[in-house]
């Protein structure tokens, strides 16, 4: 079975948020259209989402961030900034996995659902063997989620058209790294 993993399409990563990623709102809109399109409506047995959910992430937050390993405060647990963006339709989402409570938490596979079940365990329990990954940001959380999906034994694709990255160079490097790790990067979703 195939699942779609929607990575961190949250208010703080969109226009007007604490750490906006250029194109993130377009990604939210695109994922919604993709999920409700006739060609893909039945493609996924399950759809899950991840959320940055920072409680006390240590040096991941900084008053003087380097925008590589430290960042301005964002996606604080329980705030509107941590909510999924309203342009992302949530009616197909079966479960949400929160990550980064006490660390950076770049990978969705670091996340747990409300019962404490890890993403990999949830997917295996639901007999998923293939995942497609979309969301924000290509060069950080999408990359780490896709690479961890490979490590967890899932056939993995990233639908590049439904991702947005922090920087052009770092996104290109992330795509190359994902391909080296065995991730199939599909340029056009559909």
Assess whether 91 carries a catalytic annotation.
no
Task: Pick the catalytic residue from 12, 139, 141, 148.
Answer: 141
What's 9's DSSP letter?
-
Task: Pick the catalytic residue from 8, 12, 110, 139.
Answer: 8
Can you tell me the distance from the alpha carbon of 115 to that of 66, in angstroms, rounded to the nearest whole number?
Answer: 34
Q: Which residues contact 154 (CB under 8 A, 6 or more apart)?
A: 123, 128, 129, 130, 131
Assess whether 141 carries a catalytic annotation.
yes
Task: Pick the catalytic residue from 12, 99, 110, 132.
Answer: 99
Assess whether 8 carries a catalytic annotation.
yes
Q: By three-state DSSP, how is residue 158 classified?
A: strand
Q: Which residues contact 169 (CB under 8 A, 6 or more apart)?
A: none
Catalytic residues: 8, 99, 141
């Amino acid at each position: 079975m195939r699942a779609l993993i929607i990575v961190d399409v949250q208010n703080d990563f969109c226009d007007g948020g604490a750490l906006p990623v250029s194109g993130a709102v377009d990604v939210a809109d695109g994922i919604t259209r993709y999920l409700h399109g006739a060609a893909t409506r039945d493609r996924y047995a399950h759809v899950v989402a991840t959320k940055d959910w920072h409680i006390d992430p240590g040096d991941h937050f900084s008053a003087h961030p380097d925008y590589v390993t430290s960042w301005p405060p964002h996606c604080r647990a329980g705030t509107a900034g941590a909510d999924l963006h309203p342009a992302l339709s949530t009616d197909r989402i079966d479960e949400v996995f929160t990550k980064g409570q006490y660390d950076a938490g770049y990978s969705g596979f670091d996340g747990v659902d409300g019962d404490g079940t890890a993403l990999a365990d949830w997917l295996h329990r639901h007999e998923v063997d293939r995942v497609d990954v979309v969301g924000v940001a290509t060069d950080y959380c999408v990359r780490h989620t896709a690479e961890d999906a490979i490590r967890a034994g899932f056939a993995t694709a990233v639908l590049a058209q439904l991702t947005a990255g922090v920087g052009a160079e770092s996104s290109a490097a992330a795509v190359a790294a994902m391909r080296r790790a065995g991730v199939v990067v599909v340029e056009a979703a559909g």
